[in-house]
Homo-oligomer: A and B are copies of this chain.
């Protein structure tokens, strides 16, 4: 390996591809993966925009796929040459919480770009190589090397598609039920696709943007509602039997979007929420009177890959349509700018 490059956020809106220490095996349970494609998440925009302090140049990115380069002595489920999907958190896949499908709360788990439980730095995903802690528990290999066309679809499995799926599962979407989706970002669009895949009979996507409406329709939305807030919720209720949606997928995370989601739900309905909450408040007495439930959170991607990967590989779903901009990794700054300015829904970074 030559000098490795990875994305560093130096200060708000100053993001660059720089030389960094080489990714290397540290523990016997590690692997090193050569990144084939990564992407930018809506949540990456929070530090990019300076909402969180950036004290020193920090590694960033948590969605990537690639080829295994090296494995530690204790790694047995993947081997060099395997094409792998890396969920946006790493996990041992064996602890009591992983066993219950909550890999995001894994006793040994952690997040890309931070540190593992042993105190070693962990690479960010927007780079050339990544050291993978708990490679057996974290990585999922495809049966063979995928075609170039398949890469974007597989890349969505590292975060955005399973996150939409988590919203749908948390809300209890099932065959024949009605669904409203709040949020037309990549996660909201993925939630539409996930609801469709689970057999929802009627899906209403809430979106004001023509390009996103089109993706929503291609993913299975039956209706588009452009209004927001109370007006939008009223329209959704009228569309859905006059009572509202059985399941509402909240994919934004603001106070307004959550209020909109609750107003879209029928009595007895469930909200599945995956938008990282910022100042969200819940009107508990109102939810109590109407029997509105809420579930969701940070998506345990690893738990869902066994179910979702086959449907991506055989073309049942094509979630990669959320990417409407692809740039090489060394133009990562352009990728962030486009998402920040909302000229792109989601940016893929190739190497």
Contact = CB atoms under 8 A, between A and B. Distances in A.
Interface of A: 96-97, 100-102, 104-105, 170, 241-243, 246, 266-268, 270, 273, 276-277, 280-282, 284-285, 287-298, 300
B294 A294 contact: yes
A-B pairs with lowest CB-CB distance, top 4 = A293-B295, A105-B267, A102-B268, A291-B297
Nearest to A272: B293
B276 A288 contact: yes
Contacts of A295: 270, 291-295
Given A242-B96, A277-B284, A268 B105 contact: yes
Given A241-B96, A267-B102, A273 B288 contact: yes
A290 B297 contact: yes
Given A105-B291, A287-B297, 8 more contacts: A100-B267, A102-B267, A102-B268, A268-B300, A276-B288, A281-B284, A291-B300, A293-B295
Nearest to A274: B288
Contact of A101 (B268, B281, B300): B268
A296 B290 CA distance: 9
Number of copies of this kind of chain in the complex: 2
Interface centre among A281, A288, A290, A291 (most CB of B within 10 A): A291
Q: Is the interface of A mostly helix, strand, loop or mixed?
A: mixed
Contacts of A273: 288
Contacts of A296: 288, 291, 293
A197 to B, nearest CB: 21
B293 A285 contact: no
Nearest to A101: B268
12 contacts: A96-B241, A97-B266, A104-B267, A104-B289, A104-B291, A105-B267, A170-B291, A282-B284, A291-B300, A293-B293, A293-B295, A294-B294
A295 B49 CA distance: 35
Contact of A291 (B102, B268, B270): B102
Contacts of A102: 266-268, 291
A97 B282 CA distance: 23
A16 to B, nearest CB: 30
A95 to B, nearest CB: 9
A304 to B, nearest CB: 13
Nearest to A106: B267
